Amino acid sequence: MHATPSITPSPPPATGHFDVLGACPHDCPDTCSLRTTVQDGVAIQVHGNAAHAHTAGVLCTKVSRYTERTYHPERLRTPLKRSGPKGSGQYEEVSWDQALSDIAARLGKIAARNPEAILPYSYAGTMGLVQGDSMSARFFHKLGASLLDRTICAAAGGAALGYTLGGQMGMKIEFFAEADLILIWGSNAIASSVHFWRHVQTAKRQGAKVICIDPRKTETAEKCHEHIALRPGTDAALALSLMYELIQHDWLDHDYIARHTVGWDALKARALQWHPARAAEVCGIRVEQIENLARDYGQACKANKNAAIRLNYGMQRARGGGNAVRAVACLPALTGAWRQRAGGLHMSSSGVFPTNKAALQRPDLLGARTPRTINMSAIGEALLAPASAGFGPQVEALVVYNSNPVAVAPDSGQVVRGFAREDLFTVVLEHFQTDTADYADYILPATTQLEHWDIHTTYGHTDVLLNRPAIAPVGQARSNTAVFRELAVRMGFEESCFAEDDVAIVRQAFGDKIPFDELMEKGFASVPVPDAPFAEGGFPTPSGKCEFFSQRLFDAGQDGLPDYVANYEEARPGDLYPLAMISPPARNFLNSSFVNVKSLRDIEGEPLLEMHADDAAARGIANGETVRVFNGRGSYRCTVRTNGRARPGVVHGLGVWWRKLGLDGSNVNELTHQRLTDMGRAAAFYDCAVQVERSVSAPA
Ligand SMILES: Nc1nc2c(c(=O)[nH]1)N[C@H]1C(S)=C(S)[C@@H](COP(=O)(O)OP(=O)(O)OC[C@H]3O[C@@H](n4cnc5c(=O)[nH]c(N)nc54)[C@H](O)[C@@H]3O)O[C@H]1N2
Ligand SMILES: Nc1nc2c(c(=O)[nH]1)N[C@H]1C(S)=C(S)[C@@H](COP(=O)(O)OP(=O)(O)OC[C@H]3O[C@@H](n4cnc5c(=O)[nH]c(N)nc54)[C@H](O)[C@@H]3O)O[C@H]1N2
Ligand code: SF4
Ligand SMILES: [Mo]
């Protein structure tokens, strides 16, 4: 039915029918290989590439609608200059030349006083190494701008895995298909990594038992044999009491522990303080649930069966998120589950790629300068902070790309006040006029993945993917690299790296470590990784072992052993804000991306708060009513669903809606806070206490 993928020249031809190989740019562990069918310069359909084993010819609903997003009538097509008050969304069209010259002049003036008053803000709108951070990073390094601590997603878990296993690596995702027991711990796989779920289904068909550990009864939890709906932020208590049971029943691999771990005696003493009765109380679950889970896991490992843990990011978005990930990551070493290729644990594979970040981002352009680092998870505070000895200069200019912080960053009240500062000069590179773009002085239209070159690693599988442009840029859109290249010219930066084109940067990402010919031909290439990386130990930690006890954490003044760290906001009955709120993503959005794609928004319907029927009844709230969710930081109106997904005491404010597409111009991040996790300085989105009441006024 489809033409064989052909190697398309750049820019792609305006006539003819052909397929172009690319990569899904989104922040999703699946990193699918795409095949885009183009007819006379128009992308007709984006398909999953059947030749790529991980993609297996299938895309999620969101990206199979990619052409709808690409040719969306509201796609930004020209540069825009603000013509009304900040936040009003009023703009006038200007030429690229005018926009870039003015931006360069404004940044140049600030940089002459103090370049650290300039802050780049970007995240994972695209995960591409080129349009993500290459020319942009070079530009800001040369300028000497403030650095950004990119903590908003996975930093707590990433740090924790580093302390415990030595890096972001573990089981290969495809071997979950061979597992006998799978624990899906803190992940709604059906929604957020559907290609991993395929492997779970294969294992299930072959008799595997699948257990989901998640406060929410997700689509995934419904399809598992068991669901343990613990209270948010209590995973470390559960993991420690599993250890208690493993010790009591001697479901341990003493040989593996002796040869490949550090700190067992101390961890054992800690775990023995966690009788299941204590953990059950903390987690709000039954003692038998802990005993049964320990038996399933311990006996499977003892019998040399394949026991695999899919650990994901839900649990690390709380104060003790790092400790929780560490506690869980100790389990496969205690039981020797790592000995099998279909046993062990997988959180992220991002650490296996030989990426040449220095070539892409050129930190050497900083020279002897060491600019301050600003944490993206507390951007509200940073934008409102006056100049001080500790903080440095006030932030005077902000350049946002690949991110929508006004919608996705915690504590929107402060974030919005920061972005609304009339004395802040803000530039936003975007596909759409997002909540963030509404506060920009200049909005610059960006190309999408169908319109630019890129190269991708992933945090799910272990392949590198190449993305080739399939169509010419829509309207006057320019790639992020093109914008920073142009700005560099206007700033008079003369280093040759500022003249490199995107294909040259693509080639620098891996040098000759990944065969470029193979990428050009197939669209992907595998990184060689051992099938069972820790079967014989060999952890890339300082000790070479799995570090139950981490000297590095201890030296940093922290507990060297994993422990249960209670949430900042425990939300107990009788508290002013007695309900614990988590805000996991809605299935048909990707963070705040796709919220403006009508066909996907129609599936989600409206901003929802899932609530247990008893909690709703106690407040006189009926299913489907509009409610006000509030705490000391703000309030948010949405529709209640007593659909059986919430446990008592916990509510789910599904994210991340565009504020301006919600019921009252706000979203769930009105309620979240800017306090950080125990490791990785990450956002604690799911550590949030709220109250809910019937909404007295009609929605705006
Ligand atoms: N459709 C869709 N896919 C996505 C995304 C999206 O927005 N939409 N986002 C992408 C991004 S940016 C990321 S980082 C990944 C995230 O990948 P995952 O971490 O797999 O993300 P989620 O599906 O949000 O799963 C988090 C789950 O953790 C649960 N949870 C919340 N608090 C706790 C807790 O304290 N303990 C435990 N055990 N579970 C808890 C939530 O209910 C939710 O089901 O997904 C990516 N994929
Ligand atoms: N309450 C709550 N808040 C959350 C979360 C949660 O679970 N609950 N999840 C958090 C997580 S895990 C994450 S990762 C963050 C995600 O936060 P972000 O990384 O900000 O992700 P998105 O909301 O998808 O916004 C990405 C933006 O980048 C734009 N973009 C995409 N490609 C390009 C490009 O090539 N060039 C340019 N210039 N722009 C591009 C898109 O149009 C989109 O508006 O949100 C966090 N916020
Ligand atoms: S969002 Fe994830 S599942 Fe969907 S196409 Fe992209 S990589 Fe694949
Ligand atoms: Mo994320």
Q: Give the per-residue pLDDT at 5.
A: 44
Quote the ligand 3 centre to 54 CA distance (angstroms).
Answer: 11
Beta strands 634-641 and 608-610, pairing class: parallel
27 lines ligand 3 (CB under 6 A): no
Quote the ligand 3 centre to 189 CA distance (angstroms).
Answer: 12
**Shortest-distance Cα residue to atom 3 of ligand 3:** 60
**Shortest-distance Cα residue to atom 8 of ligand 3:** 32
Residue 382 · residue 394 · CB < 8 Å: no
Looking at the CA of residue 62, tell me the nearest atom of ligand 1: 1
DSSP helix, strand, coil percent of the chain (3-state; round to 5): 35, 20, 45
Tokens representing 54 are 């991980």
Give every CB contact of residue 644 below 8 A, 6+ residues apart in sequence.
217, 613
C-alpha gyration radius of the chain: 25
CB atoms closer than 10 angstroms to residue 495: 13
Q: Give the per-residue pLDDT at 14.
A: 84
Reported CATH class of domain 579-694 = mainly beta
What ligand is nearest to the CA atom of residue 650? Answer: 1
**Shortest-distance Cα residue to atom 39 of ligand 1:** 186
What ligand is nearest to the CA atom of residue 674? Answer: 2
Which amino acid is residue 287, in one-letter code? V
pLDDT band of residue 3 (cuts 50, 70, 90) is: very low
Tokens representing 269 are 């003493």
Task: Examine the pLDDT at 700 and tell me if it is beyond 50.
Answer: no
Q: Which residues of 613-635 are buried (b: 16+ CB within 10 A; e: fewer)?
A: eebbeebebeeeebbbbbbebbb
pLDDT band of residue 10 (cuts 50, 70, 90) is: low
User: Which of 47, 49, 61, 62 is the best mutation target for the ligand 3 pocket, counting ligand atoms within 8 Å of the beta carbon and taking the most?
Assistant: 62
Quote the ligand 1 centre to 314 CA distance (angstroms).
Answer: 5
Tokens representing 287 are 């003692």
What would the pLDDT profile of 191-209 be if each residue is shown by its tens digit? 999 999 999 999 999 999 9
**593 SS3 class:** strand
Residue 107 · residue 118 · CB < 8 Å: yes
pLDDT band of residue 94 (cuts 50, 70, 90) is: very high
Beta bridge partners of 344: 308
Work out the mean pLDDT of the chain and round it to a whole number: 96
401 lines ligand 2 (CB under 6 A): yes
User: How many residues are there in the chain?
Assistant: 700
Beta bridge partners of 694: 627
Q: Which residues of 514-551 are buried (b: 16+ CB within 10 A; e: fewer)?
A: bebeebeebbbbebeeeebbbbebebebebebbbbbbe
User: Which of 27, 30, 34, 590 is the best mutation target for the ligand 3 pocket, counting ligand atoms within 8 Å of the beta carbon and taking the most?
Assistant: 30
pLDDT band of residue 11 (cuts 50, 70, 90) is: low
What would the pLDDT profile of 382-396 be if each residue is shown by its tens digit? 999 999 999 999 999
Q: Give the per-residue pLDDT at 13.
A: 80
CA distance 462 to 485: 31
**272 SS3 class:** coil
**Shortest-distance Cα residue to atom 6 of ligand 3:** 24
Q: Where are the domains of the chain?
A: 17-70, 80-153+359-526, 156-347, 579-694
Cα dihedral 131, 134, 139, 144 in deg (nearest 10) = 130
Residues with CB under 6 A from ligand 1: 27-28, 153-154, 185-188, 191-193, 213-216, 218, 232-233, 235, 312-315, 318, 582, 584-585, 587, 589-591, 686
CA distance 456 to 397: 29
pTM: 0.97
Compute the C-alpha angle 325/330/336, nearest 5°: 145
CA distance 518 to 512: 11
316 lines ligand 2 (CB under 6 A): no
Quote the ligand 2 centre to 628 CA distance (angstroms).
Answer: 25
Task: Examine the pLDDT at 370 and tell me if it is beyond 70.
Answer: yes
Looking at the CA of residue 194, tell me the nearest atom of ligand 3: 3
User: Which of 187, 349, 402, 654 is the best mutation target for the ligand 1 pocket, counting ligand atoms within 8 Å of the beta carbon and taking the most?
Assistant: 187
* DSSP collapsed to 3 states, 13-62: CCCCEEEEEEECCCCCCCCCEEEEEEECCEEEEEEECCCCCCCCCCCCHH
Beta bridge partners of 35: 21, 47
62 lines ligand 3 (CB under 6 A): yes
- Backbone torsions φ then ψ of 45, nearest 5 degrees: -155, 145
Quote the ligand 1 centre to 600 CA distance (angstroms).
Answer: 19
Tokens representing 512 are 């000759």
Residue 426 · residue 440 · CB < 8 Å: yes
CA distance 397 to 425: 5
Quote the ligand 1 centre to 316 CA distance (angstroms).
Answer: 10
CA distance 456 to 127: 7
CA distance 411 to 161: 27
Q: Give the per-residue pLDDT at 2.
A: 43
Q: Give the per-residue pLDDT at 8.
A: 53
Beta bridge partners of 226: 211
| Residue whose C-alpha is closest to residue 122's, from 379, 357, 318 | 379
Residue 349 · residue 460 · CB < 8 Å: yes
CA distance 674 to 145: 23
What would the pLDDT profile of 29-64 be if each residue is shown by its tens digit? 999 999 999 999 999 999 999 999 999 999 999 999
Looking at the CA of residue 31, tell me the nearest atom of ligand 3: 7
Task: Examine the pLDDT at 572 and tell me if it is beyond 60.
Answer: yes
| Residue whose C-alpha is closest to residue 139's, from 490, 485, 492 | 485
- Do domains 17-70 and 80-153+359-526 share one topology? The answer is no
CA distance 205 to 560: 41
**Shortest-distance Cα residue to atom 45 of ligand 1:** 192
User: Which of 69, 123, 433 is the best mutation target for the ligand 2 pocket, counting ligand atoms within 8 Å of the beta carbon and taking the most?
Assistant: 123
Q: Give the per-residue pLDDT at 26.
A: 97
| CATH code for the structural domain at 80-153+359-526 | 3.40.50.740
Task: Examine the pLDDT at 561 and tell me if it is beyond 90.
Answer: yes
CA distance 611 to 620: 12
Tokens representing 117 are 């008053």
24 lines ligand 3 (CB under 6 A): yes
Residue 431 · residue 422 · CB < 8 Å: no
CA distance 442 to 433: 11
Q: Give the per-residue pLDDT at 1.
A: 38
Percentage of residues of the chain with pLDDT beyond 70 = 98
Looking at the CA of residue 25, tell me the nearest atom of ligand 3: 6
493 lines ligand 2 (CB under 6 A): no
Burial of 512 (0-12, 13-18, 19+ CB in 10 A): exposed
How much is the average pLDDT of 305-320? Answer: 96
Quote the ligand 4 centre to 321 CA distance (angstroms).
Answer: 14
How much is the average pLDDT of 230-241? Answer: 98
Give every CB contact of residue 229 below 8 A, 6+ residues apart in sequence.
214, 215, 216, 217, 221, 285, 647
Percentage of residues of the chain with pLDDT beyond 90 = 96
CA distance 316 to 683: 9
Quote the ligand 3 centre to 586 CA distance (angstroms).
Answer: 14
Beta strands 118-122 and 147-149, pairing class: unpaired
Residue 607 · residue 663 · CB < 8 Å: yes
Distance separating the N- and C-terminal Cα atoms of the chain: 49
Quote the ligand 1 centre to 265 CA distance (angstroms).
Answer: 34
Q: Give the per-residue pLDDT at 697.
A: 60
Domain 17-70 classified CATH 2.20.25.90?
Answer: yes
What ligand is nearest to the CA atom of residue 473? Answer: 2
124 lines ligand 2 (CB under 6 A): yes
| Residue whose C-alpha is closest to residue 302's, from 349, 255, 370, 368 | 255
What would the pLDDT profile of 130-182 be if each residue is shown by its tens digit? 999 999 999 999 999 999 999 999 999 999 999 999 999 999 999 999 999 99
Quote the ligand 3 centre to 683 CA distance (angstroms).
Answer: 24
Domain 156-347 classified CATH 3.30.70.20?
Answer: no
What would the pLDDT profile of 333-351 be if each residue is shown by its tens digit? 999 999 999 999 999 999 9
23 lines ligand 3 (CB under 6 A): no
Quote the ligand 4 centre to 30 CA distance (angstroms).
Answer: 13
CA distance 328 to 368: 41
**533 SS3 class:** coil
Residue 469 · residue 452 · CB < 8 Å: yes
Quote the ligand 2 centre to 378 CA distance (angstroms).
Answer: 15
Beta bridge partners of 636: 629
Furthest-apart CA pair in the chain: how many Å?
72
How much is the average pLDDT of 217-234? Answer: 98
**Shortest-distance Cα residue to atom 10 of ligand 1:** 28
Please give the C-alpha separations between residue 323 and each of 177, 182, 254, 679, in angstroms, as whole numbers: 28, 22, 24, 8
**Shortest-distance Cα residue to atom 7 of ligand 3:** 31
